[in-house]
Amino acid sequence: MKSPGIASLGFREAVQHFLETALLMDIPQSTRLYERACQSLATGVSSGIRRHATPSPMYYERADGPYFFDVDGHRFLDYTLAWGPLIVGSNHATLNARIAEQLSRGYTFGAQHRAEIEVAERLTQLVPGVEQVILSNSGTEAVQAALRLARASTGRAKFVKFEGHYHGWLNNVLVSYRPKASDPVETTPTCGGQPASEYADVISLPWNDLGALEQAFAKYPGEIAGVITEPILANSGSCLPEPGYLQGLVDLCRQHGAVSIFDEVITGFRIALGGAREYFGVQPDLSVYGKAIAGGFTLSAVGGKRAIFDVLRQGTTLHAGTYNGHPINLAAALATLEILSEPGTFARMHAHGQAIRAKLQSKSLATTGVGTIFSVHWGQKTPPKDYRATLQSDMASYTKFRLGMLEAGVLLLPDARWYVGAVHGEEQLAQVTSAIDKVLG
């Protein structure tokens, strides 16, 4: 890994360089494995965003409860939860037992089995207003299924998405994701290989702004099939919706015959058992779930009122997939939902996250979000309310902090987002708060 000469760096960069270099020396096995991976695995990593990891993409040998163990012999207290799914941690006895049991009964059938019904029933019991679901494997896929349902049931093509919101890596949704502060608010691609024809029907708007949405409906009467939003802007600074915003969005959709879609891939089974529907008391037409739903296994789902799935029953549109309803993932989901349903679980998780936030705030840092998913901001006097406001956050200072925390044995995500799960207890709280004290002085 090449780095600039230390003499050419400012103080902040010099500190960062020092930390990175110090850490690099301490992860020789990871560094070697990454070099080896780059020979055969294009880019060396399996998901684009991991490529730019600092100090270097790291390799893990195993995980247990809230701890990750890397190939260089370090143990890290984990607040990444693998970007969200590991809400009950790793090596959980109940999950292990249920998965082992299913393994001996069949890997997959490509056909019907009881757990599909059990998971569907459980989801309809847990999530307010969800009467039926469809199952798939990743959040990316489930978002596409929701958009197709919206388009098929309205007979319209356009949909609205908001700046800074992430709905998977496919061409029609990976737009207006990371515009610069100087860019106009419009639908722009995020990377190469995204032809304009694939996002021609996408209207990108600023979030938390009902006026902007109202104007879009006025500009495109009868053309907008749906509006998709993260209920908490977890992918860009964990900004919260303004009071009444989510209900206003759902109401505007109803008024204009469009389908409202909450992308709950992060918030589902994380901010409450019933996700944003329960937490904010708002029921959109469709909700998309992933990540925490199966505790680290690849399940996603779309849920809503029975009528919204009529287009599938009538055969007007299609949803399919070789691995849909995969028995192992469903066994993991049933176990995860059972663990999360234990009384007091969400209160405990939120209290844990709020205690970390209080510690960070005591260091004059702003935090946004809720207990179980939040972000920390350097250089913000007030918590940001939308994507553009998060651009003012000083990410270089966060990176320095994150690398310090890594040295102190705590693993954090590169984008300042913290995931808290049922796996974090008093012992972990003591460990993380003392690491924060150590790093921030």
Q: Is 411 in the site for ligand PLP (CB under 6 A)?
A: no
- State in angstroms the smallest separation of the CB of 193 from ligand PLP: 17
Q: Is 333 in the site for ligand PLP (CB under 6 A)?
A: no
Q: Active site includes 291?
A: yes
- State in angstroms the smallest separation of the CB of 212 from ligand PLP: 20
Pairing of strands 202-205, 417-419: unpaired
For ligand PLP, which residue of 31, 102, 208, 235 counts as binding (CB under 6 A)? Answer: 235
d(CA 409, CA 233): 28
Give Cα 367 to chain centroid, integer Å. 17
Task: Find out whether 156 and 225 touch, Cβ atoms under 8 Å.
Answer: yes
d(CA 278, CA 128): 6
Q: Active site includes 166?
A: yes
Q: Is 290 in the site for ligand PLP (CB under 6 A)?
A: yes
d(CA 59, CA 393): 29
Site pattern 342..381 for ligand PLP (x: CB under 6 A): ----------------------------------------
- State in angstroms the smallest separation of the CB of 436 from ligand PLP: 25
Size of residue set near ligand PLP by CB under 6 A: 14
Catalytic residue of the set 161, 291, 359, 385 = 291
Q: Which residues of 240-268 are buried (b: 16+ CB within 10 A; e: fewer)?
A: bbeeebbbbbbebbeebebbbbbbbbbbb
- State in angstroms the smallest separation of the CB of 14 from ligand PLP: 33
3-state DSSP assignment of residue 172 = coil
**In 217-277, which ranges are E strands?**
224-229, 259-263
Site pattern 257..276 for ligand PLP (x: CB under 6 A): ------x-xx----------
Say which DSSP state 288 is in. E
List binders of ligand PLP among 117-146 (CB under 6 A): 138-140, 143
Q: Is 226 in the site for ligand PLP (CB under 6 A)?
A: no
- State in angstroms the smallest separation of the CB of 326 from ligand PLP: 14
Q: Sheet harboring 366-369: ordered strands across? A: 366-369, 373-377, 417-419
Instruction: Please enumerate in sequence order all residues whose Cβ is within 8 A of that of 40, keeping only pairs 6 or more positions apart, or say none.
Output: none
Task: Find out whether 350 and 371 touch, Cβ atoms under 8 Å.
Answer: yes
Quick one: 404 or 421, whose CB is closer to ligand PLP?
Answer: 421
- State in angstroms the smallest separation of the CB of 370 from ligand PLP: 15
Q: Active site includes 34?
A: no
For ligand PLP, which residue of 92, 148, 167, 388 counts as binding (CB under 6 A)? Answer: 167
**Which residues are designated catalytic?**
166, 263, 291
Binding site for ligand PLP (CB under 6 A): 83, 138-140, 143, 166-168, 230, 235, 263, 265-266, 290
